[in-house]
């Protein structure tokens, strides 16, 4: 079992036009993303060197760009795109992505709809 450290980003907000209904595509809505990146932070800590870890500010900008980018029908697809983007960073061995869709078109009272996926390089 590989043990990795965790860098978490919570509550990244972006407006996207994802969904299966025309209104969702036309008007858009806010999506919220939580990430947990799994990586070995020991080299960065030993040398106090940002280049030896993941730059979470850059990751945050990339994730927002994915959410604001090309629309998809499903939040499952959106989560997969986000995971693939995160795994492009050297050193990131795994990622947990939670996509929240708090304004989903549901006809009964609810707080949130989420999809959670975990992806790794293996």
- Report in angstroms the alpha-carbon separations of 105 from 4, 24, 28, 64, 116: 37, 8, 12, 22, 19
What Cα–Cα distance (Å) separates residue 44 from each residue in 8, 47, 52, 110?
16, 5, 5, 42
Q: Residue 13 catalytic?
A: no
Are 94 and 6 in contact by the 8 Å Cβ rule? The answer is no
Q: Which of 13, 52, 88, 101 is catalytic?
A: 101
- Show which residues are catalytic: 101
């Amino acid at each position: 079992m590989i043990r990795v450290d965790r860098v978490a980003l919570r509550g990244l907000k972006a407006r996207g036009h994802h969904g299966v209904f025309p209104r969702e595509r036309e008007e858009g809505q806010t999506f919220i993303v939580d990430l947990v990146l799994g990586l070995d932070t020991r080299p960065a800590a030993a040398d106090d060197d940002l280049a030896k870890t993941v730059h979470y500010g850059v990751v945050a900008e990339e994730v927002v760009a994915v959410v604001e980018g090309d629309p998809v029908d499903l939040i499952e697809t959106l989560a997969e795109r986000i995971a693939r983007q995160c795994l492009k960073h050297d050193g990131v061995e795994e990622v947990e992505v939670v996509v929240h869709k708090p304004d989903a078109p549901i006809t009964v009272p609810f707080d949130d709809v989420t999809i959670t996926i975990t992806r790794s390089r293996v």
